[in-house]
């Protein structure tokens, strides 16, 4: 933009100079009275002319009465000068005019110069190499934050202590680079932050800049990519040039895989533009000797696709992993974000952290924000535990769909289905404790059974996996026991998918099959490795998978048959309360009277249910999403496993 203005001013100056030059030719004979040659001759003979100046055919002069005049000689008159002298007129000549000579050259060349100028102008733009070109095509789009704009500090980044430790020395280096050089230490010029989205990579990079009080350039890898070859490269060049001006500083490149993919790999063969951009980046990173105080920090989720050249010493030779936070990390992140809002006393970050496995830092920030919004909607002054609960459910499963009117029949079958999951989960060994069971529709699910694992689940043993299979079938079996095999709904499709995926992975990936032993039998995307697996082995795999499923299906069937009274009781409780927590489930399992949930208001609810029953009876077409009843929510996964038939591969389950 600045260069644009400079250019404009330059052109204006040129225009003004030219105009004044052209004006100069006209000189100042405007005021002189023009007389004809005959009159002039007569006046000379009468002695009325005092002085003349002859310039070619033009004669300017002064009369005896001191008035000026101008006249033009019609034809060359060689006797004129003698004649004038004879009549006592003072005659002057003019020096041959140099200015007009130069000007005439200029005038004749002007169109040519103009053309050349325009041509250069366009050439520079086309190459995109124009530093200071009128259009900022090849300029980097990096956003600059100056040191006093950055408010982020290390204390704002929580739950990734290892990553922080890895980068603190960069702060020292940026603060005082000479100290390190004296000792001959080499500080990496490039640091690669590796981790899933939302784990705070940008935040961490910014915090380094904030702590070191240096400017922060940020750009996304995709900003370099342009249709025209060479643009990306020139943007890289431009960015490094800008950065050098404000060194020491940090350049942060988000999604570096957009430019840094392996060269020559991928579809459509080589991509000239991307390669040039990448090459330029390599050149720039080699270019500074570390003494210029620029640290390049790049972020990516996929270090495996990066070009090996980028990872070589002197470039991004240091990798810092910023992973998903564990329970303690989540607690700290929640605390960081909860600092900013007023909380009820009973809101405990520890408890929230336990209930949010798999959440990234960004998810947790979002959770706190949503909770504050719920509180604001309820006109509350502080944010309560219930607000957090609601926010979490919204993030995990989509907003409640209280408006979706379910017929009593659908509600009932959903209640049986969820109760089936819950009861089996209570009775099989080594399953996660239940957090709550609900038949309030959310997102695309009609009901959910949620579990709360005690710690972060890093790996699972065979017992746990088999239990998961049983629990997944619990919902469907409950429906079958109550309504008969003919009436089972399609709602269990997601459960089946999930159970099958677990069983298959147990056989082909985790080596839990006694017949096959611990051999990896899957390829890249979980597909069977056709080159490794023979036809016979394929058949054994199928048999083994089926065997796992059968045993666990039978176990769940047996458990539910033996405890069918609990199934009925839990259905009743769900129909009444819609959501029951672990306390109610415990009561049901102990076959004692169910205590009402803590937030239960008997009178209000009975009034509500009376009116709603009426409306339900007149809306037979209420269920629009078919008979889906939802899936078991395995809470070691952040995403919801709804029972919609088409989406989400159930390839869940940590394959550690």
Report, as residue numbers or ranges, the catalytic residues. Answer: 418
Q: In this structure, what DSSP letter does residue 445 have?
A: B
Which of residues 198 and 596 has its CB atom nearest to ligand ADP in the complex?
198
Rounded CA gap, 396 and 390, in Å? Answer: 10
Of Zn ion, ligand ADP, none, which one sits near residue 133, judging by CB under 5 to 8 A according to partner kind? none
Identified binder of ligand ADP from the candidate list 32, 125, 197, 229, rule CB under 6 A:
197
Q: Name all contacts of 506-514 with Cβ < 8 Å and 24+ positions apart.
A: 506/462, 506/465, 506/545, 506/548, 507/541, 507/544, 507/545, 507/548, 508/541, 509/655, 510/465, 510/655, 512/462, 512/465, 512/548, 513/541, 513/544, 513/548
Under rule CB under 6 A, residue 163 binds ligand ADP: no
Beta strands in 207-293 (DSSP E): 216-220, 249-254
**Residue 44 contacts residue 83 (beta carbons within 8 Å):** yes
Under rule CB under 6 A, residue 492 binds ligand ADP: no
Which of residues 61 and 420 has its CB atom nearest to Zn ion in the complex?
420
Contacts of 462 (CB under 8 A, 6+ apart): 506, 512
Of ligand ADP, Zn ion, none, which one sits near residue 631, judging by CB under 5 to 8 A according to partner kind? Zn ion
Q: Judged by CB under 6 A, which stretch of 15-23, 32-40, 68-76, 198-206 contacts ligand ADP?
A: 198-206
| Nearest-approach distance from CB 427 to Zn ion, in angstroms | 17
Under rule CB under 6 A, residue 253 binds ligand ADP: no
Which of residues 353 and 650 has its CB atom nearest to Zn ion in the complex?
650
Per-residue tokens: 271: 């991509």
| Nearest-approach distance from CB 154 to ligand ADP, in angstroms | 10
Q: Please tell me the count of residues contacting ligand ADP according to CB under 6 A.
A: 17
Of 47, 17, 242, 20, the residue nearest 138 (C-alpha)? 242
Output phi, psi for 218, to 5 deg. -130, 140
Under rule CB under 6 A, residue 201 binds ligand ADP: yes
Q: In this structure, what DSSP letter does residue 405 have?
A: P
Which of residues 163 and 347 has its CB atom nearest to ligand ADP in the complex?
163
Which of residues 220 and 457 has its CB atom nearest to ligand ADP in the complex?
220
Binding mask 354-383 for ligand ADP (x = CB under 6 A): -------xx--x------------------
Of 431, 413, 458, the residue nearest 575 (C-alpha)? 413
Rounded CA gap, 341 and 112, in Å? Answer: 69
Output phi, psi for 97, to 5 deg. -85, 110
Sort strands 434-438 and 294-300 into parallel, antiparallel or unpaired: unpaired
Of Zn ion, ligand ADP, none, which one sits near residue 299, judging by CB under 5 to 8 A according to partner kind? ligand ADP
Packing angle of the helix pair 564-577, 462-483 (nearest 10 deg) = 80
| Nearest-approach distance from CB 157 to ligand ADP, in angstroms | 5
Which of residues 191 and 415 has its CB atom nearest to ligand ADP in the complex?
191
Identified binder of ligand ADP from the candidate list 167, 187, 203, 251, rule CB under 6 A:
203
Task: Give residue 162's Cα distance to chain centre.
Answer: 24
Of ligand ADP, Zn ion, none, which one sits near residue 475, judging by CB under 5 to 8 A according to partner kind? Zn ion
| Nearest-approach distance from CB 398 to ligand ADP, in angstroms | 21
| Nearest-approach distance from CB 631 to Zn ion, in angstroms | 4
Q: Judged by CB under 5 A, which stretch of 90-98, 287-295, 472-480, 620-628 contacts Zn ion?
A: 472-480
Under rule CB under 5 A, residue 495 binds Zn ion: yes
Q: Please tell me the count of residues contacting Zn ion according to CB under 5 A.
A: 3
Rounded CA gap, 614 and 515, in Å? Answer: 58
Q: Judged by CB under 5 A, which stretch of 119-127, 373-381, 467-475, 543-551 contacts Zn ion?
A: 467-475
Binding mask 305-334 for ligand ADP (x = CB under 6 A): ----------------------------x-
Identified binder of ligand ADP from the candidate list 49, 80, 145, 160, rule CB under 6 A:
160
Q: Taking the CA atoms of 397, 398, 400 and 401 in sequence, report the sign of the dihedral they define.
A: negative
Of Zn ion, ligand ADP, none, which one sits near residue 333, judging by CB under 5 to 8 A according to partner kind? ligand ADP
**Residue 462 contacts residue 434 (beta carbons within 8 Å):** no
Strand ranges of the sheet holding 33-34, from the earlier edge strand across to the other edge: 33-34, 68-72, 58-63, 49-55, 90-92
Which of residues 133 and 159 has its CB atom nearest to ligand ADP in the complex?
159
Beta strands in 56-196 (DSSP E): 58-63, 68-72, 90-92, 143-145, 190-194
Under rule CB under 5 A, residue 138 binds Zn ion: no
**Residue 420 contacts residue 585 (beta carbons within 8 Å):** no
Task: Name the maximum alpha-carbon separation found in the chain.
Answer: 148
Q: Judged by CB under 6 A, which stretch of 80-88, 127-135, 194-202, 215-223 contacts ligand ADP?
A: 194-202
Packing angle of the helix pair 408-427, 602-617 (nearest 10 deg) = 130
Under rule CB under 6 A, residue 159 binds ligand ADP: yes
In the complex, which residue's CB is closest to Zn ion? 475
**Residue 212 contacts residue 171 (beta carbons within 8 Å):** yes
Identified binder of Zn ion from the candidate list 281, 631, 640, 650, rule CB under 5 A:
631
Which of residues 311 and 362 has its CB atom nearest to ligand ADP in the complex?
362
Of ligand ADP, Zn ion, none, which one sits near residue 495, judging by CB under 5 to 8 A according to partner kind? Zn ion
Output phi, psi for 398, to 5 deg. 85, 165
Under rule CB under 6 A, residue 299 binds ligand ADP: yes
Under rule CB under 6 A, residue 207 binds ligand ADP: no
| Nearest-approach distance from CB 202 to ligand ADP, in angstroms | 3
Under rule CB under 6 A, residue 336 binds ligand ADP: yes
Of Zn ion, ligand ADP, none, which one sits near residue 198, judging by CB under 5 to 8 A according to partner kind? ligand ADP
How far is residue 210 from each of residues 148, 151, 157, 207, 518, measured CA to CA in Å?
A: 8, 6, 12, 5, 50
Under rule CB under 6 A, residue 174 binds ligand ADP: no
Per-residue tokens: 395: 């993030």
Of 177, 298, 311, the residue nearest 236 (C-alpha)? 298
In the complex, which residue's CB is closest to ligand ADP? 361
Q: Judged by CB under 6 A, which stretch of 92-100, 157-165, 349-357, 598-606 contacts ligand ADP?
A: 157-165
Which of residues 203 and 419 has its CB atom nearest to ligand ADP in the complex?
203
| Nearest-approach distance from CB 201 to ligand ADP, in angstroms | 3
Under rule CB under 6 A, residue 198 binds ligand ADP: yes
Q: Judged by CB under 5 A, which stretch of 339-347, 398-406, 497-505, 628-636 contacts Zn ion?
A: 628-636
Which of residues 190 and 475 has its CB atom nearest to Zn ion in the complex?
475
Rounded CA gap, 364 and 555, in Å? Answer: 38
How far is residue 18 from each of residues 5, 74, 118, 164, measured CA to CA in Å?
A: 20, 33, 17, 63
Which of residues 206 and 421 has its CB atom nearest to ligand ADP in the complex?
206
Q: Which residues bind Zn ion (CB under 5 A)?
A: 475, 495, 631
Residues in the site for ligand ADP, rule: CB under 6 A? Answer: 157-160, 197-203, 299, 333, 336, 361-362, 365
């Amino acid at each position: 933009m600045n260069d644009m203005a400079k250019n404009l001013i330059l052109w204006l100056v040129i225009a003004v100079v030219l105009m004044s030059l052209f004006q100069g030719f006209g000189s100042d004979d405007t005021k002189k009275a023009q007389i004809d040659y005959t009159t002039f001759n007569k006046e000379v003979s009468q002695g009325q002319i005092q002085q003349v100046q002859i310039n070619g055919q033009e004669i300017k002069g002064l009369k005896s009465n001191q008035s000026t005049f101008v006249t033009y000689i019609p034809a060359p008159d060689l006797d004129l000068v003698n004649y004038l002298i004879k009549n006592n007129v003072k005659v002057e000549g003019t020096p041959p005019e140099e200015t007009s000579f130069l000007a005439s050259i200029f005038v004749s060349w002007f169109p040519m110069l103009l053309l050349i100028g325009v041509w250069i102008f366009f050439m520079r733009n086309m190459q995109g190499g124009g530093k200071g070109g009128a259009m900022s095509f090849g300029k980097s789009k990096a956003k600059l934050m100056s040191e006093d704009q950055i408010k982020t500090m290390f204390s704002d980044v929580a739950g990734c202590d290892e990553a922080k430790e890895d980068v603190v020395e960069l702060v020292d280096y940026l603060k005082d680079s000479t100290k390190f050089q004296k000792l001959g230490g080499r500080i990496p010029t490039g640091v690669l932050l590796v981790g899933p989205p939302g784990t705070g990579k940008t935040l961490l990079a910014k915090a380094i800049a904030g702590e070191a009080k240096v400017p922060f350039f940020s750009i996304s890898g995709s900003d370099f990519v342009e249709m025209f070859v060479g643009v990306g490269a020139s943007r890289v060049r431009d960015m490094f040039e800008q950065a050098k001006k404000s060194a020491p500083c940090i350049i942060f490149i988000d999604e570096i895989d957009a430019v840094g993919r392996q060269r020559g790999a991928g579809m459509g063969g080589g991509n000239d533009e991307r390669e040039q951009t990448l090459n330029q980046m390599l050149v720039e990173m080699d270019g500074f000797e570390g003494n210029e105080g620029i640290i390049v920090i790049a972020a990516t989720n996929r270090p495996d696709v990066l070009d090996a050249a980028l990872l070589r010493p002197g470039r991004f030779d240091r990798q810092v992993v910023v992973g998903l936070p564990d329970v303690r990390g989540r607690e700290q992140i929640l605390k960081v974000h909860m600092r900013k809002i007023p909380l009820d006393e009973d809101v405990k970050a520890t408890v929230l952290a336990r209930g949010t496995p798999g959440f990234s830092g960004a998810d947790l920030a979002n959770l706190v924000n949503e909770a504050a919004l719920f509180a604001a909607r309820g006109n509350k002054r502080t944010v309560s535990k219930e607000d957090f609960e609601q926010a979490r459910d919204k993030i995990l499963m989509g907003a409640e769909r209280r408006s979706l009117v379910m017929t009593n029949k659908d509600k009932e079958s959903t209640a049986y289905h969820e109760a089936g999951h819950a009861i089996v989960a209570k009775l099989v060994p080594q399953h996660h404790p239940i957090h709550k069971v609900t038949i309030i529709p959310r997102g695309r699910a009609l009901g959910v059974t949620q579990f709360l694992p005690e710690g972060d689940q890093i790996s699972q043993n065979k017992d746990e996996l088999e239990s998961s299979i049983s629990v997944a079938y619990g919902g469907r079996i409950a429906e079958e026991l109550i309504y008969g095999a003919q009436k089972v709904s399609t709602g269990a499709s997601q459960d089946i998918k999930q159970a099958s995926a677990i069983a298959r992975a147990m056989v082909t990936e985790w080596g839990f099959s006694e017949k096959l032993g611990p051999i990896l039998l899957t390829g890249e995307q979980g597909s069977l490795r056709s080159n490794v697996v023979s036809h016979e082995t394929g058949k054994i795999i199928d048999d083994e998978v089926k065997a796992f499923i059968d045993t666990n299906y039978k176990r769940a069937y047996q458990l539910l048959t033996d405890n069918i009274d609990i199934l009925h009781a839990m259905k009743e409780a769900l129909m009444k309360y819609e959501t029951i927590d672990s306390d109610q489930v415990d009561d049901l399992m102990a076959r004692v009277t169910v205590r009402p949930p803590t937030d239960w208001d008997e009178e209000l609810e009975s009034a509500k249910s009376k009116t709603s029953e009426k409306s339900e009876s007149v809306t037979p077409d209420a269920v629009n999403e078919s008979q889906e009843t939802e899936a078991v929510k395995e809470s070691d996964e952040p995403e919801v496993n709804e029972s919609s038939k088409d989406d989400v591969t159930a390839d869940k389950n940590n394959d550690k």
